[in-house]
Amino acid sequence: MGNIPWYYVFIIIVAIVFFAIVGLGMYDKYIKKRVDKDKKDKKLNKDNPFVKKLYNPNQKSKEIKTKIKQVKQLSEFEQVKQYNLNLQKSNKQYLGVYNYFGSKTSMRLKPLVFVQEKKNSCYLCQPWENKVLSLNHHDDKYNTMKQAIEKGYHHVGCTHEDIDYLIMQSKIEKNYFSSATKNKNFNLKLEQFKYEKQIRLLKASIRKNPNNSNEINKKLELYLNQYQEFLTKNNLKRNLAREDINANDTIIFS
């Protein structure tokens, strides 16, 4: 030690202290990340009783694991969706200014929205999902709503939601559903529309032909059984409002 200059010793000590601090910081960050992940997983499990029902430590079936992943994924999608909806409700604007004061993003300098993803969207709307759109006629940074509509977005029967976009507050996540999944679900939706249309026609026929109502009722009952099998097979919900013969186009394509 006597042959080593004192400043070398000082530099070594400083280096050791520096790397120790950095190492502890990284370890602390790692621990916090693990804790946050555990909390998130615990919340997902709490919000989704299906996860507990499906999960079995002794069963290592790939199908079960895939199902659990899908349930968690859907839950996370719904959580993000609800967060943005709540954010929109709590940030009412007055003369272009949001009342969420204390945040720099309270000032809404331009009207922006983003397209809420749907798991059964059509090919016309898919390119715009989770994208920010400007409601101005011209915008140098964002695509405009006018441009999106010209390319097919918000077509007749479209049920997409445009959510107010607040910079640094709104959460725009990755697409949770693949194009293949969306196309499959959209085609199922169209198939459901066909069933509902036929049900409305049969009900209208019963009203127009009361003398043959028994025969038509039998046809309707058989058709409803087929329809219920279709719904059960594809895990879809029946919509009685769309089966009403007096339903308007807004309800029929909802």
- Predicted pLDDT of residue 47: 46
Residue 120 CB-density burial (10 A; 0-12 exposed, 13-18 middle, 19+ buried): middle
| Predicted TM-score (pTM) of this structure | 0.59
For the record, the structure tokens of 237 come out as: 């919900």
Dmax over CA atoms of the chain, in Å, equals 117
- Predicted pLDDT of residue 12: 80
Which residues have a Cβ under 8 Å from the Cβ of 104 and sit 6 or more positions away? 168
For the record, the structure tokens of 85 come out as: 């909806």
- Predicted pLDDT of residue 111: 82
User: How many whole angstroms separate alpha carbon 181 and alpha carbon 192?
Assistant: 17
End-to-end CA distance of the chain: 83
User: How many whole angstroms separate alpha carbon 69 and alpha carbon 115?
Assistant: 25
Per-residue pLDDT of the chain (254 residues; tens, 9 = 90+): 456 677 777 788 888 888 877 777 776 666 666 655 555 555 544 444 444 444 455 555 666 666 656 555 567 777 788 788 777 776 655 444 444 443 433 444 568 888 888 889 999 999 999 999 998 888 888 899 999 999 989 887 788 888 888 877 788 877 888 999 999 999 999 999 999 999 999 999 988 888 888 888 899 999 999 999 999 999 999 999 999 988 888 888 87
User: How many whole angstroms separate alpha carbon 64 and alpha carbon 168?
Assistant: 37
Asked whether the beta carbons of 199 and 243 are under 8 A apart, the reply is yes
User: How many whole angstroms separate alpha carbon 14 and alpha carbon 37?
Assistant: 35
Domain boundaries, the chain: 180-252
3-class secondary structure, 129: strand
Nearest to 135 by CA among 155, 172, 171, 108: 108
- Predicted pLDDT of residue 191: 94
Which residues have a Cβ under 8 Å from the Cβ of 71 and sit 6 or more positions away? 48, 50, 51, 54
Could you please report the per-residue DSSP string of 139-169? -SSSEEHHHHHHTTTT-TT----EEEP-TTT
User: How many whole angstroms separate alpha carbon 153 and alpha carbon 146?
Assistant: 9
User: How many whole angstroms separate alpha carbon 88 and alpha carbon 85?
Assistant: 5
**One-letter identity of residue 135:** L
- Predicted pLDDT of residue 98: 42
- Predicted pLDDT of residue 184: 93
